[in-house]
Each structure stands twice: as C-alpha cells, then as structure tokens.
Amino acid sequence: MIQPTPRGADPETIRSEILEKLCYSIGKDPAVAKRHDWLNATILALRDRIIDRWMESTRAAYHAKAKRVYYLSLEFLIGRLLRDAMSNLELTGAFTEALAALNVDIDLIEALEPDAALGNGGLGRLAACFMESMASLDIPAYGYGIRYNFGLFRQKITDGWQVELPENWLEHGNPWEFARREAAYEIGFGGQVVPGLDTGNRQQRRWRPAEKMLASAYDTPMVGWRGKRVNTLRLWTARAPDPIRLDAFNSGDYQAALAESNKAEILTRVLYPADSTAAGQELRLRQEYFFTSASLQDIIRRHMQQYDEVRSLADKVAIQLNDTHPAIAVAELMRILVDHHGLDWDQAWEITKATIGYTNHTLLPEALESWPVHLFEHVLPRHMQIIYTINARLIADAQKRPDSTPDFLASVSLIDENNGRRVRMGQLAFVGSHSINGVSALHTALMKQSVFRDLNTLYPGRINNKTNGITPRRWLLEANPQLAALLNETVGQSVLDDAERLVKATGHATDSAFQQRFAAIKRQNKDELANLISARMGIKVDPAAMFDVHVKRIHEYKRQLLNILETIALYNAIRAHPDRPWAPRVKIFAGKAAASYTQAKLIIKLINDVAAVINNDPDIRDLLKVVFLPNFNVSLAEVIVPAADLSEQISTAGMEASGTGNMKFALNGAITIGTLDGANIEIMEHVGKDNIVIFGMTADEVEEKRRGGYNAAATIEASPDLKDVLDALSSGVYSPGDMQRYRPIVDSLYNGDWFMVAADFNAYAQAQRNVANLWRRSQDWTEKTILNTVNMGWFSSDRTIRDYARDIWNVPVA
C-alpha cells in the first residue's frame, strides 16, 4: 500500500502548494492571476490534503468489513465547501496566513465560491448536516443524490415579484468533484415485461425497457470534524448511451440527432421540475427512479465486489431514505434481488425490509407523493407488477386481523382507489422498511395518529422518533466564530467535539461581564448583516434595532402571511400612537416559493409591497423597516442566523415536521417566537418556558377547530386590527392601481382560513407586544438569549446520528 507523504500544516508549506496549483493546475502566473484563479488554486491545494484522508477512510472501511450507511436524498444543500473543509481540518488559520503572504484576502476569494445548487430548504440542509456528522463520528457512509445543472432556481425580485432564473453553479466547473467513469449504470424506462426461465428452470419475469440511459457518478469528499473521516457524496448525472445519431445529423435532421441526448440531460437539469402538467409528473417520476436505481446498483456492485453474495446485504448495508422521493427503492431493490440475483420472493422481501429505513418529513398530502397508476405502468412496468404483489400480500396480512374492515383495507393499501387510482409512495416506503422515523416528538406522534395510523396498527413498533439536529461546526464555528471562541473559553473544552458541553456555561447567563461580551458579538454580527442589506438592497437599517427574522421556504403553513399582516397592524399602531415607547424593529424575510405555487408568490409580492410603503414613510423613521432578501441560500443564512434577535417559527401547529432553522437561530442566541409545533416543543423543554415566546393553538386545537366548522369570517370581524389590515389590502393601499391584487389572500382568510392565520392573529400580536416589552429590558433579554445558546447542545446532528446508528442502522460510532 502506498502511504502518502506527510504534509506540513505550516503557512509556508501551504503557500508553496497554492503556488504550485496556480501554476501547474490553473496555468496562471501569480502576477496576472485573478481572484477566481486564487480560489481554485486554494481549493485544489486543500483538496489534495483531503484526498489522503479520503483514501485512507475508504481503505479502512474495506479492510474492517465495516457496515456502510447509504443516505439517499433528492437534496443535499451543502453550501460552500472551502471554509467548511478548512475548518474541519483545522487549517483555516494556516491557509489564511499563507494567502495573506501572497497578498490574497481569503474572505474575498471565498465569496466567489458558488453555493452548490443541490437543494432548496430544510430537507437538503439536514442531509448536509448528517453527512458531516457521520464523517465526524467515524461512520463509513455514502450520500447519494443528483448532480443538478441548475438546482431549483436563482431567485430575483423584480417589481416585488419573484422571478425564477437558472442557478448556473457549474458554469465554471466544480473543483471539488471527481468524475468516476467506471461508476456508470444503465437505467431503463417503459417497455414491457416478458416471462422466461432462470438458470434453475424457474419462472422468471424479465423487464425489457423501451429506452435506456446511463447514470454517471461524480464524487465529492465530505470532511468530518478534525479530519477523523472523509466520506463520499456521490451525485448522478444522466447521458444517452449514444450522444449523437450521426445518420440523422448527416441527413440534416439535427433535432432528431440530439433527441436522445437531450432527453437524458433533461433528467438532471433542475430540482423539483413543476409537476402541474402530465409531462412534469413523468419527469419527476423518472428523476426519482433514475437516481434511486443508479444508487442501488452501485450499492449492490460494491457489496458483491467485497462479499460475492447478496444474502448478507442487510448485515453490511443500511439504506436510509430521506423522505418519500426515493421510496421506489423498495420496488427496485426487490427487482434486483429477484430478477437479477435469483432470490425467492420471501427471502428478497426480508432482506429489503432489513436493509431499508425511511425518514418521513411531512404530514402534508402533496409531499407524501403518489403517482397515477397508468403513469407508473407506462414508465416502470416491472415495478408496478412488484408493487401489486407487495400490495396483495399487505392486504392479506390486513385481512387476518379480526377487526379488519373495508375502510381499514383501503387505508393501508398501496393503491389509492378514491382519487383516480394512484400509487402511494409513502405507504410503499413504510411497508418496505424495518424502521419509519419522524423528526420531532410531535411529528412522530402525529404520524401514528394520522397518515400512518392504520399501518402502525398493522405493523406496530416500526415507527420511532429521531429529532433532527444541526452540525455545530457549520452553524456555530463557521457562522459565528467569535461566539464559538467565547463558549470554548468559558467551558474550558471544545464544544465542537461535544455540543452538550454548552450547558456548562449556564451559570454565566447572569454574569454582567459575560453578557457584555455575548451582546458585543451579537452587535458585530448585526453590523455585518446591516452592511449586506445596504449593499444588496440599498436599505439602511439600524443595527441597534431588534432584528426580527423569518427566513425559510415560502409556504402558507409556515405563515409568512401571519407575520406580514401583523407587521401592517404594527405599522398602523405606530402611526396612530407615535408617542408610545415602541421597540425599533427590522423585519427580515427571505425564502423561495415553488415556481408553480401562486399563493406563496403572491405573499412574497405582498411583503415587498408592504416594505415599499413602510420604508418610505418618513413619519415612521427607524421604528420599523421591512426587508426581503432575495435568493436565500446557505451562504446568506450564515450571515443572517448569527445576527438574528428574534426567530420566527410560527407554523400552523401540527404542520411543521421539525424545523432546523429554529435550532440554528437559538444556538446563535436568538429568542424564538413560535407555536407548539415541530421541534419548537423540544426546544422549549430544553431552554425553559421562560426563555421562549409561545403563542397560538396546539395541534389538537387546530384539528378540533377544523372539525367543528370554524367560522373564519366571524373571527376576522371580531378582531378590529386584523379587519383593518385586510380592508387595507382590499382597498389597494399596498397595491395602488390594482385593487384586486390581494383578493386571493383576503378571500382565503374569509373563506376557510385553513392555515389558521386569522385564528391565531390576536395571540400572535399579543406575543409580539410581549417580545417588545422584553426587548426594552436589555439585561433580561441578553440573559434569555444566553440561556437559549447554552441549552441547545442536545440539538446537535451528532446526537441525532448517534440515535440513528444505535436504533436503526446498527453501526458503531466513535
């Protein structure tokens, strides 16, 4: 075995390595090198150090015959990797000094690194945190996803409206990735299934796809804390077996010549193509099967290469499905085991269940994917047969119960017969997994009571809870290095090795000297965000004001609408009573709405219209400002999160699975205003009821109100402040020249209010007044923010991954 030459970690050695990369890999003389040249040279120099550890990690797992974890996710929101990798290798200082000796500012070149456009929100960021924690805990793991050319989209705000543009993050290449030509797998679609005989003369079905394409792998190293382990993120891109039909090209039919190539490349162009059309639905299904099939083929190829048989798969492989998108893995693994490896059905089914675990992230029906049966039969005919067989056995199990009824059978069935016959992918994932976990205590309880109630009755014991977490290396050390240093100094040990050590700083919450240092760090972070807002938006905000932050995917259940309506009510109150001691406040919003989600995009427009009025009202001065920051991503979050004073976590109770933004903000010293939803409940239990602002209905109360014939119109009429706000929207105060612009929003509240915006409005407004009163007591405020930070150690993704490793994957951790 070739051992790598040890590399010096001193700035002079690193300086020489950067210069070597600049010259021989980038091909630039330092005298003419641009910032992007220095960025790539720096990444390549750092990457070389990672490769040594990467290869050693892979070899060690192979020789130890270690069980590997495979994490399948349609999203990996990894953000920029330079700072992350330097930090985890403890080389930030050395690289900073080396670059400074070359007259290069590391902050300036780091800002040029594009965020990898591989995700949208919490689902993808959670996957990224989990990859980092698995490496930090020395768990051999692979992440599998798609190498999107353009990700979701780059958000631009034009006249207040969201405009979607391509996020061309690969335009100048990706220095972190390695193409793996040997890891290419054939993926089929359509065609027919024909009967035949296997080598043992047994009946066997063979799928003959009508079309085929190739999945090719690109690997990115994922570095754990202190470089303990480097794992692999493997992303798939699609290509045609024949990139061009020369006969068609030479005959002048250029479109036909490239048709197959274009059809393949479309699969990996964008994340979440709109599925409002039949073509969009088929593309989504193809995309999900494409990456799942390639991943499973790769997993089994690796297993066979080492063990030469598949019967031990569950002993050496743990596959975790991150939400419902890869649920087709259940049918695909069965197809591979039965059709290609000759296992009988019962044996293959036991291996499949023992190998796969399923994480559910939502109770929303639209996110628990289902596909029309006719579409499934057209795109994946063999898998449809397998699903029918699974379903027949499932129904047979259900019929054995003495309390079985037709309604019970319909509820557990993989085929929804009531909505045009659809395949329920969440049900498939449940039935084909040995473990089904929720991501907060409330969410897990609601899973048992709602979407999986009858399946939980049929197969008790499979559902368990694994409350989400965040990596403190990214969200404390990298996002807020001064606070990390203060906490390490105070605790006397590295909180980054064990975040639960944070609680040792609890006694300092009332120490005035510590409070001053803590508050000074917060102020410096707010200065940085204020400068960013000024540079990007041309809006001057006062860092001394409360930074009231609501940043997340724009969705009605996340209730950005509730926030902006209360903001209008606050604006009205300030104008009516300018003599009152108002707490100056900056309302900061950010987030993307799905391209086809009309109501969410209208909410973005409303926020910007309200901002235009409030920010240009001289009578308000600096008492209230409203800012919507476009194109929210990981890098922007790393500036916003440490600067937040108030964290808005105000989803309709019972609809947010967990949330991880709530954890990031609380860890960085923001007070949460929120409902008893998702992980807010567990945050309250850890930080204390006096250190979080809870308002509104519980999940049970929401459900009771919906069942009881809730009269939203009467609720609005009984709330003068809310009625005034909605009257202003209806009369065009915030949409001059277009009085009907906000009619859909007003109508949605009067005629149903499914997301309980009106129902919770008064409670939310009162909670905000309580927040303002607390803000004016600065010492009390700072004490509570400190108590939030020091009690958030339990929400480390290291703790979450240890729970997965122990309870689901059966793998050891460091």
Neighbours of 782 (CB within 10 A): 20
558 is catalytic: yes
For 773-795, the pLDDT digits (tens) are 999 999 999 999 999 999 999 99
Q: Which of 61-75, 238-252, 469-483, 505-519 has the lowest mean pLDDT?
A: 238-252
pLDDT of 1 reads 42
664 is catalytic: yes
Residue 150: name the closest of 165, 135, 161 by CA.
165
Alpha-carbon distance of 421 to 595, in angstroms, equals 27
660 is catalytic: yes
Q: Does residue 435 have a pLDDT over 50?
A: yes
Alpha-carbon distance of 223 to 221, in angstroms, equals 6
473 is catalytic: no
361 is catalytic: yes
Alpha-carbon distance of 432 to 335, in angstroms, equals 13
For 322-343, the pLDDT digits (tens) are 999 999 999 999 999 999 999 9
Q: Does residue 573 have a pLDDT over 80?
A: yes
Catalytic residue among 80, 147, 234, 553: 553
For 102-120, the pLDDT digits (tens) are 999 999 999 999 999 999 8
Percentages helix, strand, coil for the chain (3-state, rounded to 5) are 50, 15, 35
- Alpha-helical (H) ranges within 221-277 are 246-250, 254-257, 259-266
Neighbours of 250 (CB within 10 A): 10
pLDDT of 257 reads 83
Phi/psi of residue 155, nearest 5 degrees: -90, 130
pLDDT of 6 reads 65
553 is catalytic: yes
For 352-402, the pLDDT digits (tens) are 999 999 999 998 776 789 999 999 999 999 999 999 999 999 999 999 999
Coil/strand/helix, residue 79: strand
Q: Does residue 96 have a pLDDT over 70?
A: yes
Catalytic residue among 21, 422, 552, 555: 552
For 221-258, the pLDDT digits (tens) are 999 999 999 999 999 999 999 888 888 888 988 888 88
- Average pLDDT over the chain reads 96
Catalytic residue among 664, 686, 741, 784: 664
State the pTM of this model.
Answer: 0.96
Q: Does residue 274 have a pLDDT over 80?
A: yes
Catalytic residue among 660, 672, 675, 785: 660
